[in-house]
Structure 1
Amino acid sequence: MTTATAELAPERSLLPERSLLDVWLITIGHAFTHWYPATFYLLLPLIGNELGLSYAQIGSILTCQYIAGAISNVPGGILVDNVGRKGLLMAISLFWIGIPYLLMGYTDAYWLLLTCAALVGIGNNLWHPTAIPLLGNLYPARRGLMMSFHGMAGNVGDAVAPLVAGVLLTVLTWRGVMAVNVLPGMVMALLLLLYFSKPQPGDERVGGQRSAKSAGDILRSFGALLRNRTVLMLSVGSVFRSITQTSLLAFLPLFIARELGYSAMWIGACLFILQAAGFLAAPVAGHLSDKMGRRQIIVSSMTMTAVVLLFMALAGRSVAFVFFIAFLGFFLFAIRAVLQAWLLDATPREMAGTGIGFMFGMQSIGAAIGPFAAGVIADHYGLAATFYFLAGTIVVANLFMFFTPMPERGGEAVTTKAATT
């Protein structure tokens, strides 16, 4: 095999093969990073009613969370790339997400809700730059599929949490649900901490190598990453997709509650349908992207997402609106893992955490803009108008994906090119 051929071949994992227990722990932990906010989305109508908040004020709670996320994502990714102890970082992330949600249940102050939301945004940004590159390095030839497993766990958390919260609301107040809700994630954080209590072989090798980098080396590597057109196009496109997803998760429960008049339990059931459809779609999309290419799967799914959102806007208060929820979940959530796999394909291995952190930071910008913008639209034109807005943002995201160049798989070519720049 020639040197040129070797550079273009998919990389071998930096980490030794491990038992599937590692994969299970990481994916279940990811489910709980979604469990907390999924419960919070369901409770937002109740919180808004009790505190007398406008749609814009409700959206601003999520905006604060994602502004903090946008600021902290890249530093979090750099931290992951230059410090080992992946299990410790994942455990800290779960603690850091859960505790602010617990505190929200004990306050009537709007400013404290905003502060806790910002803390959640910071904690959440430790998880993805840690877990996603770890899984990608364990299974480099099956990145799309492995990212889909990780994403499916997020769908499980998003789907089951509203159902559980809806049932709990029949016997507890929203504040009681917030208190009970924190317990499963804390248990999972302890399991991660115990299982990864000692530095893992991959941490010693990878973390030790990267901890020797100077600040100048880190800045130069980050600059090379920013010159990577694939990474930039994916990240900017993800901003608009994030506007769509985050605004939908914030205002879909509000529409179902206030326009359709459904109870909390039925709202939870609708959100379960949304996420369950995404759960079914994720492994299919991940596997097909490994075989057919990332762009084809993403562009097709985003196109269908825009079409379904338009039909939902036209359906208004009819029963057809609920019918479209499953189709929306199938196409919208199918591609989260494919986007992450595409970014890992384009990112040098030693910059994987920073690359994921950068993309999630850009997504946080979109997530910060989306709920507030959708809230303003809902205040002025009604909740149904937000679905036209979201259809437009996913179309813009799709344009970026269509023109994104395909990298060589594994990021080896990117590494070589960056080194010679």
Structure 2
Amino acid sequence: MAAHGLVHTYELSIPILMTVWLTEFSVTAAVLGAVVTVGYGLFGAGALPGGLLVDRLGSRRLIVGCLFGMGLAFFGLALAPSLAGIAVTLALWGTAASVYHPAGLALISNGVDPDRRGVAFGYHGMAGNAGIAFGPLAAAVLLLVADWRVVAAALGVLSIAAGVVGLSADFDETAGIEAADGADGDGENGNGADGDDATRDDADSDATTIRSLGDFLAGSRRVFTAGFTLVFLVVLCNGLFYRGMLTFLPELLREFLLAAVGDVRLGIFAPDSPLAEEFDVSRYVYVGLLTAGIAGQYTSGRLLDRIEPERGLATVLFLLTVIAVAFVPLAAAGVLPLLAVSAALGFALFGIQPFSQATVAAYSPPESRGLSFGFTYLGIFGIGALGATIVGVVLTYAAADAAVFLVLAAVALAGCTLATVLLRRDLRP
């Protein structure tokens, strides 16, 4: 839970820090977008090899390594002398963070009693949501009283502390497998030892299936059916929209809020106050948008019991298309419409995740589900990181901010179209 929350704390604190970097380094949005794409891209690209390493090294080593790596990367970020240094340290963060999701999900799957696994996944998701919402809030508040380098170092301390706890904690990361083996043996064979041996042999066989490049290619061919290929393209569109929208959104919100209500700092702080210089209301609107995503995830999770995941996926992508098209006109209509459309965006943007994960599970073979989710995170966070570059280029060279939202609307509409094809054709394995 600590690692999951911190991964997303760092991921979504970066856009908050970008509002400072744009000014301090006198850089265009296109260049800064390319810089952060490096780190975000590695965050996704490392998920696939990370998933393969889990079976060989175990979850504890990878999660602890992830925590120490992220902490050290943010210490390095605090010392970065230039934009090139920021690119290098963000690349280190992305590499370290990339192993978390396969390692964390494997730890819960293998280490928690099967009867309580659902509860564990629920707490795990709540921790991630807390990092998504309150990590950027912590960064925004700290920027009121400290330089961004101090903020980066302070965030790094959290991960190092969690890594120390991970080294000293006492737990069995295969306890869930052992519990399941015992239940199978007692229930099916009337002999715990026989059932235990049979089940463990199956588990060991599955865990060590991919031993070479040939095994990896064979497993990949088994995963990429026609249905899963369409699913992968859908989640790729989702990843491009997600990263493209969130990376520069604090800066866009700042412009919209200035146009709607002016500089609110003048009504709160003295003009020469240090707090007036650092206070940026757009950061808090951004945090509110992310917080609305918690309700979106909860709602989608409940709806999964009633509708097909493909239908939910297509519906949310259509909603994101509509929200993206309507965002700029509503933002121009005043502060209340801006807040409303921001909340709707956060609700839908994170509400898509349960539908996406359930769809991946439905279109992937059980024996290759880990590999399937490795490819999924590669698409969402790895290739999807190009969304930051795309939006940065559009912001730099387009005549109006509306162009950004129209480009992102087109991406969401493409994903909606592909999800509709999944819904109407019988492509499940």
State the TM-score, normalized to the length of structure 1. Answer: 0.81
In 2, the alpha carbon distance for the partners of 1:79 and 1:399 equals 35
How far does the alpha carbon of each residue in 1:303-351 deviate from its partner, in whole angstroms, 9 at most, with x for none?
1122122211223443122331111111110121331232133333442
In 2, the alpha carbon distance for the partners of 1:208 and 1:88 equals 22
In 1, the alpha carbon distance for the partners of 2:89 and 2:161 equals 21
Pair 1:127–1:380, CA change in 2 (3 A): same
Correspondence 1:240 to 2:258: no
What does 1:275-354 correspond to in 2, within 5 Å? 275-317=290-332, 318-319=334-335, 320-354=337-371
Question: Which AA in structure 2 matches 1:267?
Answer: S
Contact 2:45 2:383 in 1 (8 A): no
Shift of 1:385: 2.3
Shift of 1:291: 3.4
What does 1:401-412 correspond to in 2, within 5 Å? 401-404=419-422
Correspondence 1:67 to 2:41: yes
Gaps of 5+ in 1: 1-24, 415-421
Question: Which AA in structure 1 matches 2:372?
Answer: G
What does 1:13-412 correspond to in 2, within 5 Å? 25=1, 28-80=2-54, 82-83=55-56, 85-135=58-108, 150-195=124-169, 198-202=172-176, 205=200, 206=203, 210-211=207-208, 213-215=210-212, 216-226=214-224, 228-261=225-258, 264-317=279-332, 318-319=334-335, 320-381=337-398, 382-404=400-422
Contact 2:51 2:370 in 1 (8 A): yes
How far does the alpha carbon of each residue in 1:215-267 deviate from its partner, in whole angstroms, 9 at most, with x for none?
233432222112x2333222211111111111111111011234434664523
Contact 1:234 1:343 in 2 (8 A): yes
Shift of 1:189: 2.9
Pair 1:406–1:116, CA change in 2 (3 A): farther
In 1, the alpha carbon distance for the partners of 2:308 and 2:163 equals 35
User: 3-state SS of the aligned residue for 1:105?
Assistant: helix
Contact 2:6 2:159 in 1 (8 A): yes
Shift of 1:68: 2.5
In 2, the alpha carbon distance for the partners of 1:394 and 1:150 equals 28
Question: Across the two proteins, how many residue pairs are aligned to each other?
Answer: 382
Contact 1:240 1:393 in 2 (8 A): yes
State the TM-score, normalized to the length of structure 2. Answer: 0.80
In 2, the alpha carbon distance for the partners of 1:207 and 1:179 equals 42
In 2, the alpha carbon distance for the partners of 1:267 and 1:173 equals 18
Contact 1:244 1:393 in 2 (8 A): yes
Question: Which AA in structure 2 matches 1:402?
Answer: T
Question: Which AA in structure 1 matches 2:401?
Answer: L
In 1, the alpha carbon distance for the partners of 2:85 and 2:45 equals 19
How far does the alpha carbon of each residue in 1:373-392 deviate from its partner, in whole angstroms, 9 at most, with x for none?
11111112233321121111
User: 3-state SS of the aligned residue for 1:87?
Assistant: helix
Question: Which AA in structure 2 matches 1:190?
Answer: V
How far does the alpha carbon of each residue in 1:35-88 deviate from its partner, in whole angstroms, 9 at most, with x for none?
0122221110101210111000111122112333454332222222x3252232
Gaps of 5+ in 2: 179-199, 264-277
Contact 2:70 2:156 in 1 (8 A): no
Contact 2:311 2:419 in 1 (8 A): no
Contact 1:309 1:388 in 2 (8 A): yes
User: 3-state SS of the aligned residue for 1:403?
Assistant: helix
In 2, the alpha carbon distance for the partners of 1:156 and 1:267 equals 19
How far does the alpha carbon of each residue in 1:85-129 deviate from its partner, in whole angstroms, 9 at most, with x for none?
223222222222332222112113222211222222222221112
Pair 1:55–1:292, CA change in 2 (3 A): same
User: 3-state SS of the aligned residue for 1:404?
Assistant: helix
Shift of 1:186: 2.4
**1:419 maps to what in 2?**
none
How far does the alpha carbon of each residue in 1:361-416 deviate from its partner, in whole angstroms, 9 at most, with x for none?
112344332111111111122333211211111111112222226999xxxx95xx
Question: Which AA in structure 2 matches 1:353?
Answer: G
Shift of 1:184: 2.0
Tell which deviates more after alignment, 169-178 or 111-120. Answer: 111-120
User: 3-state SS of the aligned residue for 1:260?
Assistant: helix
Q: Identity of counterpart residues, as a percentage?
A: 24
In 2, the alpha carbon distance for the partners of 1:290 and 1:97 equals 36
| Structure exhibiting the larger radius of gyration computed from Cα positions | 2
Question: Which AA in structure 1 matches 2:346?
Answer: G
